[in-house]
Amino acid sequence: MAHVASRIEQYLDQRQVNYEVLIHPPVSSLMQAAQSLAIPEDHIIRAVVLKADDQFTIAVLPLGRMLDFSALTQVTGRKFEPVPVAMVTDIFPDCEAGMVPPLGSLYQLDTYCDSSVQQMQQVVFEAGSRRAFIRVKGRDFAALIDRNCFLAMSRAQHELGDIRLDEQSSSLRDFVPVHDIKHSISQLYSLPPAPPLLQRLQDYTLTATRDKTQLIELLMNAAPLSAQLQRMAMPPFAFSDIECSVGSLDEAIDVLGVDLCVALAQGLLVWDTLTVPADGPLGKTSLERQARISAQIAYRLIRCCRGIVDIDAATSAQMALMHKVGYLVLAQLFAPEYFLFNRIVQANPDIPMSVIEKNLLAYGQAQTLMQMGHVEVGAWFLHYWGFPDVLQQVSEHHQDAEYDGPYQHYVHLLILVDHLLQDSGRGDAGNKQLPQKSLSLLGLNEKSLDDFKRNVLHPVLVQQ
């Protein structure tokens, strides 16, 4: 079968296991696949590649449960770390990149399976491709696993809503692995390099004359990026009230303008390069949607600002598109902690993200950055990738409502954008009070802001 890994197909046939292949559209996460087929979350299992003592192991658990590293270490006597899927693709040669089947013995890997799997009536798991699941009876799957490999090594995701978030609580430690601090520091240098196209676009912004022909030449071989720019030139991400159909990069540049097109292209390259889980409030789907809305709001809010001459509309949109980049960096460097961070935010919608972040970064591998939040991490990354100082400074200070340093108009524009999204139930600003200093600096008042909400913000959000 084209959608089932050959080893899995042969193994199930040899064991005379009755199974069903469920075809679904290509997706980037198990959750998205489950939703496309209307399969309950408690029917799906996932496999995680772990490493201890230079040996790879697979841990299998239900999709809705969290791996308890503390329990796993206590039972096995081994200290495990998750391994990025990109690093172990060669272990599963008959599977698509990123697919980790839950049958480790087929790939000469030890397998630990959570004991809760034994209670499942049906088991659905990845078939080795991004287009298919395999469904078997629970007892049939359990028979494929050595009974000595079933361990109590997970906790239900809903328990994250009961965790105390304070400096004395050690509850979060159970969900993150124990790391060698030297290895933790070395990971800071494992970020991907800036794409060559980004450097060329940065050089292009420094030229005295920036015309459309030069820009088209730069982007002509970047088809995915060009397609994104075309979509951003049309509703729901249009940067003006003019509705139009855009069918080419040339037309997108005409609608957006050269400066805005370059600014957005650089921001989109960041999103396309860094690896972020797809699901949850801090998943790529949610964060990228929020970032694109932020860019649109920032670009259009400038029109309402009175007497502000030191602020550029394209730069503002670019900043808004990238001011959450610190989350992307944390996801890239600290996948276990970020996975937990995402799940805790999902389980505790009434607790500000900043509070959860502060507590979570005190544990696991991310403790090397515990004095830095995502804002400072984002600023560091922008410097690392060669973005100008103005973007670095604004990224670092965009949550400081009292900021009065360089680029203060940009900072307070983003503070106001975050407030507008928070006020509409889509942001993470934390403080729900109207930032009066930001209003004053931008030449706005409560009436003009209400007019903006009614005439611009609400129509934009309705289209999303």
pLDDT band, residue 182 (cuts 50/70/90): very low
Q: Which of 145, 161, 177 is the last residue of a domain?
A: 161
pLDDT at res. 427? 66
pLDDT digits (tens, 9 = 90+) for 386-401: 899 999 999 988 888 8
pLDDT digits (tens, 9 = 90+) for 107-142: 999 999 999 999 999 999 999 988 899 999 999 999
pLDDT digits (tens, 9 = 90+) for 3-39: 899 999 999 999 999 999 999 988 778 888 888 899 9
Please give the Cα distance from 134 to 151 (Å, whole number): 23
Q: Which of 107, 128, 161 is the last residue of a domain?
A: 161
First to last CA, the chain: 38
- Higher per-residue pLDDT: 121 or 285: 121
Check pLDDT > 80 for residue 166.
Answer: no
Check pLDDT > 60 for residue 220.
Answer: yes
CB 403 within 8 A of CB 412: yes
Check pLDDT > 70 for residue 424.
Answer: yes
Residue 313 lies in a domain: yes
Which three-class secondary structure state does DSSP give residue 101? Answer: coil
CB 365 within 8 A of CB 346: no
pLDDT at res. 372? 58
pLDDT at res. 125? 95
Least confident among 19-23, 367-371, 383-387: 367-371
Least confident among 96-100, 219-223, 367-371: 367-371
Which three-class secondary structure state does DSSP give residue 45? Answer: strand
Check pLDDT > 50 for residue 181.
Answer: no
Please give the Cα distance from 307 to 305 (Å, whole number): 7
CATH number at residue 380: 1.10.3210.10
Tell me, yes or no, if the pTM score tops 0.85.
no
Residue 448 lies in a domain: yes
Residue 389 lies in a domain: yes
pLDDT at res. 374? 81
CB 61 within 8 A of CB 152: no
Q: Which of 132, 161, 190 is the last residue of a domain?
A: 161
Structural domains in the chain (count): 2
Check pLDDT > 70 for residue 187.
Answer: no
Please give the Cα distance from 197 to 33 (Å, whole number): 32
* Residues 286 and 156 reside in one and the same domain: no
* Residues 289 and 152 reside in one and the same domain: no
pLDDT at res. 278? 81
Residue 300 lies in a domain: yes
Average confidence (pLDDT) over 160-186? 51
Residue 223 lies in a domain: no
Nearest to 350 by CA among 165, 137, 207: 165
B/e letters for 385-422, b = 16+ CB within 10 Å, e = fewer, are: bebeebbbbbbbbbbebebeeebbbbbbbbbbbbbbbb
Bridge partners (DSSP) listed for residue 62: 45
Domain span at 302: 274-463
* Residues 409 and 284 reside in one and the same domain: yes
Which three-class secondary structure state does DSSP give residue 66? Answer: strand
Residue 231 lies in a domain: no
The percent of residues in the chain predicted with pLDDT above 90, rounded, is 38
The percent of residues in the chain predicted with pLDDT above 70, rounded, is 86
Residue 396 lies in a domain: yes
Nearest to 331 by CA among 381, 258, 277: 277
Residue 260 lies in a domain: no
Average confidence (pLDDT) over 168-175? 53
CATH number at residue 121: 3.90.960.10
Please give the Cα distance from 316 to 410 (Å, whole number): 7
* Residues 157 and 293 reside in one and the same domain: no
How does DSSP assign 352-408, residue by residue?
A: -HHHHHHHHTTSGGGGGGTT--HHHHHHHHHHHTT--HHHHHHHHHTT-TT--STTH
Check pLDDT > 80 for residue 416.
Answer: yes
Nearest to 334 by CA among 183, 160, 187, 189: 187
Query: How many other β-carbons are positioned within 10 Å of the β-carbon of residue 433?
Result: 8
